[in-house]
């Protein structure tokens, strides 16, 4: 447990450094976060009403040709002082909703990183596969050469020659396909990274996240939790909207009036408070709707949590399968090494050919490469689990 925790800390320290994503993607993600933070600040202050300033000049001429002019300036303010808790709930909702949106950006970045590191690991793996396919093709060439010689000597029939020919053709096709796969992966990686490069040492530091940590820190579940808090605050806001509300109203102004008969100038003001409560036929429906939205979010989170638990189990058993393949490759490696040593002795006595020895040597390399390939497959599964969680 301590070792896993240490690996996780080391990995977090490595990935907390400079991002491997292209400059454009990093800038886009940063701009999204900055906008969300500004929106949070704005929404937290939405309950504060603005002061309204006014300035007017009016000239009037009556039907009796009397003229007058009125100049006025003023400020007025209508502010809710109490909404049965609605003010506090609106602030809570702004924070929770903002956190949910920030986690959404974190998920977007994590998805980019997961794609990048997965593609990098796939490229490393498929370069090994490419080398493995080259060795396999070389062995099929040797097999075809040996069986052709035997066929001409009358010690092999046409079916053996056909099988060797087909096996060589299959190996060539597999080599061409592996080159194409690797080329596409390298192109996809270039699109994600631009001119940036991934440090190979970061791959070896990626730990296998435990199921408990995976479910506790999963970005999607954390986003659901933030959305839950937002919906809960929203339900409370709806409820408070139908409860008593206290509002302060005030204004202050200056008026200058001039006409042929009268002139006056002076200040005017008024202030007061209003206690109100709406009586709405839709109250119950609105409150029920907001409550159902909250229950929907909670149910969706529970459902997704169960899906992710199964997904973790699937990846965990997939890793176990890859580890089993490593064991099989190791067993085959021991067999081929023994055969190689035996054949090497037989070559010196003339009982075996150098072609057979070369084929066995290639088979030894193929099994060594197979172990590395399965190690990279395990790493790809770890990458997926790691970047799904908040680091």
Domains located in the chain, CATH noted: 2-47+83-242+301-387 (1.20.1600.10), 50-81+244-277 (2.20.200)
Residue 105 CA to residue 30 CA, distance in Å, equals 9
Instruction: Give the model's pLDDT for residue 24.
Output: 84
**Residue 5: predicted pLDDT:** 41
Query: 370-373 contacts: CB < 8 A, separation 24 or more?
Result: 370/132, 370/325, 370/326, 370/329, 370/332, 371/326, 371/329, 371/330, 371/333, 372/125, 372/128, 373/125, 373/128, 373/129, 373/132
pLDDT of residue 374: 97
CB 164 within 8 A of CB 140: yes
Say how far apart CA 209 and CA 205 lie, in whole Å.
12
Could you tell me which residues are beta bridge partners of residue 388? none
The whole-number pLDDT of residue 283 equals: 86
Torsion on CA atoms 222, 223, 225, 229, rounded to nearest 10: 140
Tell me how far apart the alpha carbons of residues 111 and 291 are, in angstroms, rounded to a whole number: 32
Q: Which residue has the tokens 């990274």?
A: 193
Q: What is the pLDDT of residue 272?
A: 92
| pLDDT tens across the length of the chain (391 residues) | 444 444 444 444 445 445 778 788 889 999 999 999 999 999 898 888 899 999 999 888 766 667 788 889 999 999 988 888 888 999 999 999 999 999 999 999 999 999 999 999 999 999 999 999 999 999 999 999 999 998 998 888 999 999 999 999 999 999 999 999 999 999 999 888 877 788 888 888 899 999 999 999 999 999 999 999 999 999 999 999 888 999 999 999 998 888 877 888 889 989 999 999 988 898 899 999 999 999 999 999 999 999 999 999 999 999 999 999 999 999 999 999 999 999 999 998 888 889 999 999 999 999 999 999 999 999 999 999 999 999 7
Q: What is the pTM assigned to this prediction?
A: 0.83
Assess contact for 136 and 171: CB atoms under 8 A.
yes
């Amino acid at each position: 447990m301590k070792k896993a925790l240490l690996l996780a800390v080391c990995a977090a320290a490595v990935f907390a450094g400079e991002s491997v994503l292209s400059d454009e993607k990093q800038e886009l993600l940063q701009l999204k976060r900055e906008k969300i933070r500004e929106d949070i600040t704005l929404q937290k202050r939405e309950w504060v009403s603005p002061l309204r300033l006014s300035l007017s000049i009016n000239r009037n001429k009556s039907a009796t040709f009397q003229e007058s002019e009125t100049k006025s300036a003023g400020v007025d303010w209508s502010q809710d002082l109490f909404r049965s808790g609605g003010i506090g709930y609106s602030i809570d909702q702004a924070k929770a909703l903002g956190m949910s949106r920030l986690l959404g950006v974190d998920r977007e970045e994590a998805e980019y990183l997961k794609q990048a590191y997965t593609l990098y690991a796939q490229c490393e793996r498929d370069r090994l596969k490419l080398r493995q396919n080259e060795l396999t093709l070389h062995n099929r060439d040797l097999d075809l050469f040996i069986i052709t010689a035997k066929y001409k000597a009358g010690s092999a029939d046409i079916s053996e020659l056909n099988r060797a020919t087909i096996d060589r053709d299959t190996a060539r096709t597999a080599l061409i396909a592996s080159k194409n796969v690797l080329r596409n992966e390298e192109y996809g990686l270039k699109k994600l990274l631009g001119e940036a490069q991934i440090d190979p040492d970061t791959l070896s530091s990626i730990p296998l996240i435990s199921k408990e940590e995976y479910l506790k820190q999963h970005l999607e579940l954390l986003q659901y939790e933030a959305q839950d808090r937002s919906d809960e605050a929203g339900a409370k806001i709806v409820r408070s909207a139908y409860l008593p509300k206290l509002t302060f109203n005030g204004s202050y102004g200056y008026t200058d009036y001039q006409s042929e008969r009268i002139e006056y100038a002076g200040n005017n003001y008024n202030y007061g408070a209003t206690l109100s409560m709406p009586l709405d036929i839709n109250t119950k429906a609105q409150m029920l709707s907001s409550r159902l939205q909250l229950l929907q979010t909670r149910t969706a989170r529970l459902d997704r949590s169960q899906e992710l638990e199964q997904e973790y189990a699937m990846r965990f058993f997939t890793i176990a399968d890859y580890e089993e393949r490593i064991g099989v490759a190791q067993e085959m490696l021991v067999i081929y090494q023994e055969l190689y040593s035996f054949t090497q002795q037989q070559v010196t006595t003339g009982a075996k050919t150098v072609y057979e020895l070369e084929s066995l040597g290639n088979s030894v390399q193929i099994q060594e490469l197979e172990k590395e390939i399965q190690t990279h497959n395990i790493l790809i599964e770890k990458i997926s689990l790691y970047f799904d969680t908040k680091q």
